[in-house]
């Protein structure tokens, strides 16, 4: 593996800023690595080399203070101007947007060079990265396993050294779950922290864009490039005075940690719970005060399912009318569920979410962070569409197994998935760390301290491993 591909994003950006590395050389290294390994994992189906090289030769003013020409990977739900963007759907298999969306444009303004689009399930629905346009993306730790989703291609690209930074998005766990499955770091920011594209419902706050990287410091670097106020996103907020990278490079073990093996709402596979429990024991031995506790989230499942279905109906109902036969069945089910909702059901879900938020605020009067598993299971067979059973307990819908992440989406808290260990078969397990609302800086500092204690951040990048 090229030594450049092994470096952290911060190290490569440092070389670029000092003029010790040219952006074209970074592109060369990334393309060589993609050529070596992507055929085994199918993470980056669309390359845009010519566009990237042109962008590298014409970096915007101020790029040196940002990502300085670093090649990045962008999820295929985001429009990149002049580049095939399919949203993982055969309906848009030939779609080429004229301009980049707000999220991508902001990254490019701050010195990022888009080199490839990462694979995603159709419209990001379903936490296994496959679609009828590009096929399945495979987990590099065992190519017979799923990399989860919907930001699965981004997570795999990072884990295999094809990218230093990658974009992700998250409604119910789409960024955190693949990070956990691939032993990388993914941050779901607070709503409004990162300005979002105009493709979605801009006044809806469950869906966010966020950074993914191999370590916490690099996530801070990318969040700095993504965050800030923009009038085109009505929920966006100004960037803080102190950079997120600075916060991530100042590790601080939180004094008060609450730990839950399942948040009291969904079964968690025994081995996953044991690995996460062992990681928390290490934190306690390092000096943190750990208590078994959780936010009361017993009403989160129905609340989230209602709000998610409402969002699907609002966004995709026109496609159901015109292209029903080309949508995967899970999306058809979600749209129809949304169209069948009554006003009383939506109103109840909104009231419930408000109650959850107030409970969350009260909870964080006693704790600095809440930690729990990122996913309810370890990486599963890539041929399975979704997880329908956990340790013998059936799941009612194709998203129920994601309750441990989607319940946290309802709280509006930032949440980060950090690698915390491996199963007996060598498959990655992620620890979900939840901070106070709008508390990304403190969360990154805590996650960096956890990363030091657990000591496995250097496990990636790897060469793909076949079964």
Nearest alpha-carbon partner for 107 in 67, 55, 155, 52: 67
At residue 112, the pLDDT reads 98
The domains located in the chain, with CATH, are 3-299+346-459 (3.90.1300.10)
DSSP label of 59 = P
Res. 105: pLDDT tops 70? yes
At residue 199, the pLDDT reads 65
Helix (H) or strand (E) holding 149: none
Cα 139 off chain centre by: 15
Phi-psi region of 189 (alpha: psi -120 to 50; beta: other; left: phi over 0): beta
pLDDT, averaged across the chain? 97
Res. 122: pLDDT tops 70? yes
What is the mean predicted confidence (pLDDT) over 370-398?
A: 97
Coil/strand/helix, residue 360: helix
Residue-wise pLDDT for 306-349, tens only, equals 999 999 999 999 999 999 999 999 999 999 999 999 999 999 99
Res. 273: pLDDT tops 80? yes
CB within 8 Å of 3: residues ≥ 6 apart: none
Nearest alpha-carbon partner for 49 in 111, 98, 1, 117: 117
What is the mean predicted confidence (pLDDT) over 253-282?
A: 98
Helix (H) or strand (E) holding 166: strand 165-170
- On whether the CB atoms of residues 214 and 158 are closer than 8 A, the answer is yes
Catalytic residue ranges: 75, 150, 174
At residue 201, the pLDDT reads 85
How far is 151 from 166, CA to CA, in rounded Å?
Answer: 9
Helices (H), 227-342: 244-248, 270-285, 300-323, 329-339
What is the mean predicted confidence (pLDDT) over 408-415?
A: 98
**Residues β-bridged to residue 388:** none
Coil/strand/helix, residue 452: helix
At residue 68, the pLDDT reads 98
Q: Is the dihedral of CA 353, 150, 404, 436 positive or negative?
A: negative
- This prediction has a pTM of 0.98
- Angle between helical axes of 102-109 and 216-226 (0-180°, round to 10): 100
Res. 114: pLDDT tops 80? yes
At residue 198, the pLDDT reads 65
Angle at 406 between CA 112 and CA 303, to 5 degrees: 135
What is the mean predicted confidence (pLDDT) over 39-56?
A: 98
Q: In which residue are the tokens 């969040």 written? A: 223
The secondary structure of 201-254, three-state, reads: CCCCCCCEEEEEECCHHHHHHHHHHHCCCCCCCCCCCCCCCCCHHHHHCCCCCC
- What pairing do the DSSP bridges indicate for beta strands 389-390 and 208-213? unpaired
Tokens, residue 128: 């296994």
Cα-flanking dihedrals φ and ψ of residue 136, to 5°? -95, 140
How far is 207 from 215, CA to CA, in rounded Å?
Answer: 23
- What pairing do the DSSP bridges indicate for beta strands 112-118 and 165-170? unpaired
At residue 250, the pLDDT reads 98
CB within 8 Å of 81: residues ≥ 6 apart: 97, 98, 99, 100, 104
Quick one: pLDDT band at residue 62, thresholds 50, 70, 90? Answer: confident
Residue-wise pLDDT for 186-231, tens only, equals 999 999 999 997 667 889 999 999 999 999 999 999 999 999 999 9
Residue-wise pLDDT for 388-397, tens only, equals 999 999 999 9
């Amino acid at each position: 593996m090229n030594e450049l591909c092994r470096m952290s994003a911060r190290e490569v950006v440092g070389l670029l800023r000092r003029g010790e590395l040219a952006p074209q050389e970074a592109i060369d290294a990334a393309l060589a690595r993609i050529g070596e390994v992507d055929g085994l994992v199918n993470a980056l189906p669309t390359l845009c080399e010519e566009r990237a090289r042109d962008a590298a030769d014409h970096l915007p003013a101020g790029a040196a203070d940002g990502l300085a020409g670093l090649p990045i990977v962008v999820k295929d739900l985001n429009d990149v101007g002049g580049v095939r963007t399919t949203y993982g759907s055969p309906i848009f298999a030939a779609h080429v947007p004229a301009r980049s969306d707000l999220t991508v444009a902001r990254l490019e303004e701050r010195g990022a060079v888009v080199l490839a689009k990462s694979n995603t399930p159709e419209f990001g629905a379903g936490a296994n990265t496959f679609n009828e346009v590009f096929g399945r993306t495979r987990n590099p730790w065992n190519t017979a396993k799923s990399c989860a989703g919907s930001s699965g291609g981004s997570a795999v690209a990072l884990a295999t050294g094809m990218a230093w930074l990658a974009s992700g998005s998250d409604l119910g766990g789409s960024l955190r779950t693949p990070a956990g499955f691939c032993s990388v770091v993914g941050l779901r920011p607070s709503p409004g922290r990162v300005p979002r594209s105009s493709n979605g419902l801009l006044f809806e706050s469950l869906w966010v864009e966020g950074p993914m990287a191999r370590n916490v410091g690099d996530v801070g670097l990318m969040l700095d490039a993504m965050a800030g106020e923009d009038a085109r996103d009505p929920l966006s907020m100004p960037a803080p005075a102190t950079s997120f990278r600075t916060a991530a490079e100042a590790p601080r073990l939180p004094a008060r940690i609450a730990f839950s093996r399942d948040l009291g709402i969904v079964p968690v596979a025994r081995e996953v719970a044991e690995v996460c429990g062992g990681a928390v024991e290490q934190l306690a031995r390092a000096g943190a005060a750990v208590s078994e506790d959780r936010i009361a989230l017993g009403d989160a499942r129905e609340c989230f399912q209602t709000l998610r279905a409402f969002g699907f109906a609002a966004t995709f109902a026109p496609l159901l009318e015109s292209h029903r036969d080309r949508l995967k069945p899970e999306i058809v089910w979600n749209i129809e569920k949304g169209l069948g909702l009554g006003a009383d059901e939506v109103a109840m879900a909104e009231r419930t979410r408000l109650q959850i938020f107030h409970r969350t605020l009260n909870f964080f009067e006693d704790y600095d962070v809440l930690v729990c598993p990122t996913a309810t299971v370890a990486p599963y067979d890539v041929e399975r569409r979704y997880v329908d059973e956990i340790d013998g307990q059936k799941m009612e819908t194709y998203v129920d197994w994601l309750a441990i992440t989607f319940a946290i989406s309802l709280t509006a808290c930032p949440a980060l998935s950090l690698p915390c260990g491996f199963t007996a078969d060598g498959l990655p397990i992620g620890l979900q760390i939840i901070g106070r609302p709008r508390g990304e800086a403190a969360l990154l500092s805590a996650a960096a301290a956890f990363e030091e204690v657990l000591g496995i951040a250097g496990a990636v990048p790897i060469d793909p491993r076949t079964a």
